[in-house]
C-alpha cells in the first residue's frame, strides 16, 4: 500500500516542481525585459548633466534636444538607448531604467495634436534639420567673463587653460580663434586645504586656506581659417567638456589657482566650413 502511494506521489511532486520552474523562468524573463518608452527615430530631450537622485537635484538638469538612433540590449532591463545630441552630434548611452535623464520633447518641439498632422510634418521638417551642419560655419560667442564675483574669477581661470594663440593653417599664420561657452557652472561647499602627498586638490595651496569645489560643463570651439594654395576652406574643432571638476584656491602669493580634479572630455568634432 505504501509503495503504491509513493508511486502516485513522486510524479505529482515532479510535475509541481516543473510548473514552479517554468513560472520562475517566465517571471525572470518578464523582469529582464527592457522597458523602451521610445523607439528609434524618436525626438527626445536628454539631461547631459545627468543630475543625481538627491532632493532638489533636478534643478541641475541640462536638457538638450536629441534623437534616438538605436537601442542596445533591448531585451535586457539594463539595456538602453543610443541618442545623438542635436547640438553637437555626439552620442550618449542612456539605460532604460534611467528615466530621469530622458523625456519627450518639451515646449515648441512637443508632438503636434493628432488632428494637425500636416502642420506637425512641416514642423518636423524644420526642427530636425541637423543643427551641427546648420551652424558648422561659426563658433558660439565666448561668455562674458567680466566681473569680480567668485564664479567670474573661476570662469576666467578655466577659460585661460585653453590655448588661444596657436598657429593656424593659412598662409598668413594668423592665430586660431578659440571661444569657450559655459553651459553650466556651479560652486560647491568649501573645505580647508591640507598639505599632503597626492593631494586630491592639487599642489601649491596654503595649508588651511579655503578650497572651492567647482563643477562646469562647457564647449571649446577652435576656428581654423582656410589655406588658399591647397583649397582648404577651414574647419571648426568643437570639443565638449562635461562635469569638469576643479579645486580653486589661493597660492602663497595670493593668486587664484584652479586645478582640474575630474570630468569627461568628449571626442573632438571636426566640422568643415
Whole-model pTM: value is 0.49
pLDDT at 195: 92
| Inter-residue contact 88 to 269 (CB < 8 Å) | yes
pLDDT at 269: 86
pLDDT at 117: 39
* pLDDT, tens only, 51-64: 676 676 677 788 88
Q: Would you state the cell numbers that stand for residue 108, as one nine-digit string?
A: 515648441
Q: Which of 93-102, 120-129, 161-170 has the lowest mean pLDDT?
A: 120-129
Q: What mean pLDDT comes out for the span 207-227? A: 90
DSSP secondary structure code for residue 101 in this structure: G
Measured distance CA(251)–CA(249) in Å, rounded = 7
The overall average pLDDT reported for the chain is: 76
Q: What mean pLDDT comes out for the span 252-256? A: 96
Domain ranges of the chain: 43-132, 135-272
Per the model's pLDDT, the better-predicted residue between 77 and 165 turns out to be: 77
Among 70-74, 101-105, 150-154, the range of highest mean pLDDT: 150-154
Phi, psi of 125 (to 5 degrees): -65, -35
β-sheet bridge partners, residue 215? 186, 245
Per the model's pLDDT, the better-predicted residue between 49 and 154 turns out to be: 154
Measured distance CA(155)–CA(185) in Å, rounded = 8
Q: Give ∠ CA 28-31-34 in degrees, rounded to 5.
A: 125
DSSP secondary structure code for residue 206 in this structure: P
Residue percentage of the chain with pLDDT more than 70: 68
CB neighbours of residue 143 within 10 Å: 17
135 half-sphere exposure, CB direction, 13 A CA radius: 14
CB neighbours of residue 101 within 10 Å: 19
Amino acid at each position: 500500500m505504501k509503495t503504491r502511494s509513493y508511486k502516485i506521489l513522486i510524479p505529482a511532486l515532479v510535475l509541481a516542481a516543473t510548473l514552479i520552474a517554468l513560472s520562475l523562468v517566465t517571471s525572470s524573463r518578464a523582469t529582464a525585459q527592457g522597458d523602451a518608452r521610445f523607439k528609434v527615430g524618436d525626438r527626445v530631450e536628454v539631461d547631459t548633466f545627468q543630475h543625481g537622485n538627491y532632493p532638489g537635484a533636478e534643478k541641475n538638469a541640462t536638457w538638450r534636444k536629441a534623437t534616438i538612433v538605436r537601442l542596445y540590449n533591448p531585451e535586457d532591463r539594463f539595456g538602453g538607448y543610443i541618442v545623438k545630441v542635436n547640438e553637437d552630434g555626439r552620442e550618449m548611452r542612456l539605460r532604460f531604467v534611467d528615466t530621469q535623464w530622458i523625456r519627450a520633447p518639451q515646449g515648441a518641439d512637443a508632438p503636434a495634436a493628432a488632428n494637425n498632422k500636416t502642420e506637425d510634418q512641416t514642423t518636423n521638417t524644420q526642427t530636425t534639420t541637423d543643427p551641427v551642419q546648420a551652424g558648422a560655419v561659426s563658433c558660439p560667442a565666448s561668455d562674458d567673463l567680466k566681473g569680480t564675483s567668485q564664479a567670474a574669477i573661476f570662469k576666467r581661470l578655466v577659460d585661460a587653460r585653453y590655448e588661444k594663440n596657436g598657429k593656424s593653417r593659412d598662409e598668413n599664420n594668423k592665430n586660431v580663434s578659440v571661444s569657450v561657452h559655459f553651459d553650466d557652472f556651479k560652486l560647491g561647499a568649501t573645505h580647508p586645504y591640507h598639505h599632503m602627498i597626492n593631494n586630491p586638490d592639487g599642489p601649491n595651496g596654503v595649508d588651511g586656506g579655503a578650497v572651492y569645489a567647482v563643477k562646469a560643463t562647457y564647449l571649446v570651439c577652435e576656428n581654423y581659417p582656410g589655406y588658399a594654395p591647397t583649397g582648404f576652406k577651414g574647419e571648426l574643432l568643437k570639443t565638449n567638456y562635461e562635469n569638469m571638476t576643479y579645486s580653486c584656491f589661493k597660492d602663497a602669493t595670493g593668486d587664484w589657482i584652479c586645478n582640474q580634479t575630474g570630468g569627461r572630455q568628449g571626442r573632438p568634432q571636426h566640422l568643415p566650413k
